[in-house]
Structure 1
Amino acid sequence: MKPISAQLGLIILLVLSILTSCKEEDILVKKPDGNGTVSYFAKASGSGVKKTDTKSIKPLGSVAVEWSAATVYVEKIAFEGKTSHLLDTTIFVGKNINIFNADALTGVIQLPTGAYKNVKVKLFARKSDKSEMAFNLRGTFINTKGGRDSVVVGSSYPFEANLQVPDIIIDSSDKYRVTFNFNLDKVLSDISTELLQTARSYAGKDNSLMYVIWKGGSDEEPFYDQVIANWQTVASVEVSKQ
């Protein structure tokens, strides 16, 4: 019986060794849990934008504006994406963003690791409690007589940019940069110089005029509805891994 007991003992030790090896292997192949970081930025682009390298073709028939200032008051940003389950999260920003600053940080969120599909990002803009507009743009253009006039485009009404984002895979400690790109060439699409000069205007210095397409109340504002329709195509999104 002793030889049999010794043989049985060896078998038990061998089985335990195999089980231990399997557990260690499971530990080695197990992916680490954690979060990745997604940082949101906003910037202006377009052929009429100063201090940017981005170039674009102006829509035919549109007034050629050289934009000199642009802000968007970002209330919040919402992220939605599907992994093994739907992740829907919102971060509150509450900042007036100067989109002429290419590194204008709007917010940062932490996302659990995983492969995100059908990703959607929404940027909500509105008028702030400090009277900062949902968006406020200023620039100059050459009028039909060859002189230089200015234009102000703005709104205190809420604005939402609803954007589709490419699928992303987030591993632990990954850092992603999501940039909201506002192409200002599209703000006055199909509004010619001649049409713009029929908008509400005010006398400025050196006999120049300041044309205004701005709405903060219920009064009808010429070209405002067209600007708002154009604004829906102004924003796009770029995703890059840092």
Structure 2
Amino acid sequence: MRQTSFKQYFIALLALLVLTSCEKDDISVAPVVDQGGYGNLSYFAKASGAGVKRMGAKADNTMSSAAVEWTSASIYVEKIAFVGKSESLLDTTILVGKNINIFNADALAGIIQLPTGSYKDVKVKLFARKSEKSEMAFSLKGAFVNAKGGIDSVRVGSSFPFEANLEVTDIEINPSDKYNVTFTFNLDKVLTGISTELLQTARSYATTNNKRLYVIWKGGSDEEPFYDQVIENWQTVASVVVTKE
């Protein structure tokens, strides 16, 4: 009888330890299932374009957008959503909650896990918003050569939420493989449709040495010239590519 009681006690204790371990794992690591498992994806964000920290472009009023040298750029990414078609539907949202300086080359935002499989017509949505620390949904600063040949400054930003809708033709996720998801923001396209002359009709402020700061910045209910155009441009500013390491 004593041996039986001890054996039953040992089994009960072992079951309790396994249950406790599983509860802890569920908090931080996606469980590995028998069918397929998961692939690891590291996601990055970076800026691109001829105007990234490169000055000297001459004003050309016939261009579809003003030539700006962007000197800083950040985006507060709230979350990233993946939806794709396969034998089983890929539909997952990853919370990010980080202000990302996209001038840091290949800035690491985080690592996620996705179920293995071949996914077609993958839709990716990147959601940006103002953070609790007053970091903007996006904030860009730069300089440009004005119509008279002088150099003025420009700030473009928003405290309102917005999303960029992106597409990936297909993703092949294999067990235990590593992948990179790179979000690229082509800053040359931020002011598409806004020429140098038009930019100089935006809200502006006098600065030092007879220079001006032009602003396309929305933080309230007032109408902001060119703001809607900038938000529309973000659908082409952002792109995403998935590559296997």
Q: Identify whether the pair has TM-score above 0.5, normalized to the shorter chain.
A: yes
**Alpha-carbon spacing, 1:33–1:85, altered in 2? closer, same or farther (3 Å):** closer
The aligned runs of 1:92-241 (5 Å cut-off) are 92-241=95-244
Q: Deviations over 1:94-129 (max 9, x none)?
A: 100011112212232112222122211111000111
Contact 1:32 1:172 in 2 (8 A): no
**In structure 1, distance between residues paired with 2:36 and 2:157:** 45
Give the fraction of aligned pairs with identical amino acids, expressed as a percent: 74
**In structure 2, distance between residues paired with 1:62 and 1:89:** 36
**In structure 2, distance between residues paired with 1:61 and 1:117:** 35
Aligned to 1:188, what secondary structure does the other structure show? Answer: coil
Counterpart for residue 78 of structure 1? 81
> How far 1:32 moved relative to its partner?
7.9
**In structure 1, distance between residues paired with 2:228 and 2:172:** 39
| Aligned positions, number | 205
**In structure 1, distance between residues paired with 2:164 and 2:206:** 34
Aligned to 1:232, what secondary structure does the other structure show? Answer: helix
**In structure 2, distance between residues paired with 1:196 and 1:117:** 41
> How far 1:166 moved relative to its partner?
2.5
Contact 1:166 1:239 in 2 (8 A): no
1:102 maps to a residue whose letter is: A
Contact 1:79 1:89 in 2 (8 A): yes
Q: Deviations over 1:188-222 (max 9, x none)?
A: 11211111111111111222111000000000111
> How far 1:82 moved relative to its partner?
2.5
**In structure 2, distance between residues paired with 1:134 and 1:204:** 25
> How far 1:66 moved relative to its partner?
0.4
**In structure 2, distance between residues paired with 1:89 and 1:134:** 22
- Unmatched tracts of structure 1, length 5 or more: 1-30, 52-58
- Unmatched tracts of structure 2, length 5 or more: 1-33, 55-61
Aligned to 1:167, what secondary structure does the other structure show? Answer: strand
> How much is the aligned-residue C-alpha RMSD, in angstroms?
1.7
Aligned to 1:166, what secondary structure does the other structure show? Answer: strand
**In structure 2, distance between residues paired with 1:91 and 1:201:** 38
Q: Which has the larger radius of gyration?
A: 1
Greater Cα offset, 213-222 or 83-92: 83-92
**In structure 2, distance between residues paired with 1:117 and 1:71:** 31
Greater Cα offset, 101-110 or 212-221: 101-110
2:221 maps to a residue whose letter is: S
**In structure 2, distance between residues paired with 1:238 and 1:199:** 34
